[in-house]
């Protein structure tokens, strides 16, 4: 079997055909990515723009905004595009988190992480969990592809790396049926992302400073609790120190030569996510510091090349106005 030899990926004496999950299902997110991207454009155009105008975010005729965005404006590097990007991500994260909570509240491993490992690899994947996993994986494929035309932010490459790691983590965990721990990762990540995108949407209205600051405080608490608390100290700790003894007692996760290798690859990917969380936490620290000085949240992470260009153009205009006229 070579690369796909069960020895490298599965517990001792377990064969691929015995696994409750079918790795061929990982083709579905690839098939669903284009429809999701098309659906995103429709949502932004026919829901986001009219709703934005009602809330005071629009500029000009609604029909003109809609036609412009639908006929190629979704690739533009404009303020309205940035708002609609936030709107799309906010809608997805909110829907995914609500659905995740609805199905996970009845799952034993939400309340006891050890149930991610007890009985492995024979865990069946219920239809609701299957859809949760496949749709989330489709979303990250769509984010990776849409990064080609989305507004490029200062942490562009970190986001690309994040999307690739997440796709790899979800794909591998599905293939070897580490789906239970994967759902915990998804649920713990979506919570803070809702507040992040919602806060950005509110911030685009400069008159809602207090609301922006309030959302930022809640986001900060949620971020610390989920990304720096629950994820590393509950999910990762259990994966590193409890999983092996509950699945294959003679397995030493720290012996890099011992098979299977897949658990160590997953742990490495989880570590990569933790490093990215720390990176973004440093940026959040800068935001906290700037907020303490200015009294208003400044979303440092979302600064883009286009925003910088706008600042340069505004500065040039001011200098031009101040420049004395040439005399003959």
- Reading the chain (328 residues) residue by residue, the pLDDT tens digits are 588 899 999 999 999 999 999 999 999 999 999 999 999 999 999 999 999 998 888 778 999 999 999 999 899 888 899 999 999 999 999 999 999 999 999 999 999 999 999 999 999 999 999 999 999 999 999 999 999 999 888 889 999 999 999 999 999 999 999 999 999 999 999 999 999 999 999 988 878 888 988 999 999 999 999 999 999 999 999 999 999 999 999 999 999 999 999 999 999 999 999 999 999 999 988 888 777 776 666 654 444 444 444 554 455 555 555 555 554 4
Residue 65, H or E segment = helix 62-70
Residue 8 maps to a domain: no
In whole angstroms, give the CA distance from residue 27 to residue 30.
5
Output the pLDDT for position 296.
62
In whole angstroms, give the CA distance from residue 236 to residue 185.
10
181 within 8 A of 173, measured Cβ to Cβ: yes
In whole angstroms, give the CA distance from residue 283 to residue 203.
17
**Domain hosting residue 261, numbered range:** 15-37+89-310
Residue 55 maps to a domain: no
238 within 8 A of 116, measured Cβ to Cβ: yes
Output the pLDDT for position 304.
46
Among 63, 85, 64, which residue's Cα sits nearest to residue 74? 85
In whole angstroms, give the CA distance from residue 194 to residue 214.
14
303 within 8 A of 154, measured Cβ to Cβ: yes
114 within 8 A of 242, measured Cβ to Cβ: yes
Residue 111 maps to a domain: yes
Residue 44 maps to a domain: no
Number of domains comprising the chain: 1
Residue 9 maps to a domain: no
Output the pLDDT for position 270.
94
Q: What would the 3-class secondary structure string for 1-47 be?
A: CHHHCHHHHCCCCCCHHHCCCCHHHHHHHHHHHHHHHHHHHHHHHHH
In whole angstroms, give the CA distance from residue 122 to residue 21.
9
Residue 249 maps to a domain: yes
Output the pLDDT for position 125.
97
Residue 138 maps to a domain: yes
Residue 197 maps to a domain: yes
């Amino acid at each position: 079997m070579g690369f796909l030899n069960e020895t490298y990926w599965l517990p001792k004496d377990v064969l691929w055909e015995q696994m409750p999950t079918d790795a061929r299902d990982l083709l579905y997110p690839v098939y669903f990515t284009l429809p999701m991207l098309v659906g995103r454009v429709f949502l932004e155009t026919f829901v986001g723009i009219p709703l934005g105008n009602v809330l005071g975010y629009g500029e000009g005729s609604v029909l003109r905004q809609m036609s412009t965005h639908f006929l190629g404006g979704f690739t533009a590097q404009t303020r309205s595009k940035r708002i609609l990007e936030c709107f799309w991500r906010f809608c997805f994260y909110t829907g995914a988190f609500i659905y995740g909570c609805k199905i996970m509240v009845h799952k034993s491993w939400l309340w006891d992480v050890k149930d991610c490992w007890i009985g492995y690899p024979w865990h069946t994947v219920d239809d609701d969990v299957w859809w949760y996993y496949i749709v989330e994986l489709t979303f990250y494929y769509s984010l990776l592809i849409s990064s080609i035309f989305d507004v490029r932010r200062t942490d562009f490459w970190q986001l690309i790396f994040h999307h690739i790691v997440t796709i790899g983590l979800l794909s591998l965990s599905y293939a070897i049926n580490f789906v239970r721990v994967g759902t915990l990762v998804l649920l713990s990540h979506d919570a803070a992302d809702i507040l992040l995108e919602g806060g950005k949407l509110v911030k685009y209205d400069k008159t809602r400073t207090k609301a922006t600051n309030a959302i930022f405080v809640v986001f900060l608490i949620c971020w610390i609790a989920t990304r720096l608390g629950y994820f590393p100290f509950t999910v990762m700790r259990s994966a590193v120190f409890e999983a092996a003894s509950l699945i294959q007692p003679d397995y030493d996760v720290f012996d890099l030569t011992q098979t299977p290798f897949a658990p160590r690859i997953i742990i490495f990917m989880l570590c990569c996510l933790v490093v990215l969380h720390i990176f973004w936490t440093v940026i959040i620290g800068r935001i906290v510091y700037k907020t303490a000085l200015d009294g208003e949240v400044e979303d440092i992470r979302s600064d883009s090349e286009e925003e910088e260009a706008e600042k340069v153009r505004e500065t040039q205009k001011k200098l031009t106005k101040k420049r004395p006229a040439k005399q003959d």
